[in-house]
Amino acid sequence: MSYPRMNIATALNSKYMRYAYVMLTSLFINQTETNIHVYLLNNDLTSSDIQILSSLGEKFHQKIHFLKIDPERFPDELPVNSSWTLEAYFRLMLLDLLPEEVDRLLYLDVDIIVDKSINDFYFTPFNQSLFCVCRDMCVNFPVNDVRDELFKEHRKKNFTYFNSGVMLWNIVALRGKYTFEYYMKLMKQLDYKVLAPDQDLLNYAHYNHVKLMDEYRYDLFSRMAYYAGITYADVKRETAIVHFAGQKPWKGDFLHYDIEKLWWDYAEKTPFYNDLLKEFVDDCISGNYVNQTVQKITQERDKLSAELKKSAEVIQALMKISNLQ
């Protein structure tokens, strides 16, 4: 039986190989009636990493392609840090590297779980758009954020800041018009003054050429969902793509929540489960975040108690004055 083709890309390094394995496992399990071609943008994957990931593709009868990225092509001025590594820019090379037979492609960040079929998203009509994207659920920029200035003119128009971790690329329309060189020139014009590097750049360049999809179904930020009262059961029922943006479920040193169980559901299906679990427990035991959080809450409680006591004393004094009158 001939199945429709689905092109997927992600960027990773050797350190994140296991997390990419979890993400791809979730994709392959939930996309059984598609002929998937995965393009892995990488610079430092070892021969062992490549063998492990290739074996995963073979296990599910899907194709995995390794696209080697030359880091020397990236300007030294590009902003990078522990949260936004050089790999974040790799997706900007897609249009230079993809083979001609690729007509559309879904880019997925490594910290994602696909929990349902994504056919409706992947095969949606572009309607003249260059990308299908979802609103970034952390759209409120912090005070003094450089993006206030960067998107000042955009905000005068119909501007919705989107997340670059889930992007369906209209390769046919993009190819020949946009290249890695184009994006690097644009970054230079912006004087590299961006906060979420590739995401800010893609928003700046393409904000008015995107089709917006339902972020609650196709790019649900797990922690934001938790704060909104959405539960693991809700996610299992309603959501196709869950994005563990920010603090990762495999890291132990922060306060956790039930939606993270979804990531561990798929991690358990991989050969790395025991190692990941051990590292997580070690993180929880050695980390100090929970103690710091409890101390902070205790200090805030003591401060509020003191203020409440002062308020009660003022009320009592006013009542005495009132009784004297």
The three-point CA angle 56-17-269 to 5° equals: 50
Q: For 194-216, write each residue's pLDDT tens digit.
A: 878 899 899 999 999 999 999 99
Structure tokens at 6: 């689905």
Q: What is the pLDDT of residue 142?
A: 62
Query: Is residue 111 a contact partner of residue 19, using CB atoms and an 8 Å limit?
Result: yes
Q: For 243-302, write each residue's pLDDT tens digit.
A: 999 899 999 988 899 999 999 999 999 999 999 999 999 998 887 766 777 777 878 888
Query: Is residue 10 a contact partner of residue 40, using CB atoms and an 8 Å limit?
Result: yes
Distance CA 161, CA 147 (A): 10
Distance CA 244, CA 249 (A): 7
Q: For 120-134, write each residue's pLDDT tens digit.
A: 999 999 999 999 999
Structure tokens at 299: 């200090």
Say whether pTM exceeds 0.75.
Answer: yes
Q: For 232-242, write each residue's pLDDT tens digit.
A: 999 999 999 99
Q: What share of the chain is helix, strand, coil (3-state, %, to 5)?
A: 50, 15, 35
Residues 6+ apart with CB under 8 A from 295: none
- Residue 305 in this model has a pLDDT that exceeds 70: yes
Q: What are phi and psi of 288, to 5 degrees?
A: -115, 5
For 29-43, 102-116, 153-167, 252-266, which range has the lowest pLDDT when averaged over its residues?
Answer: 153-167
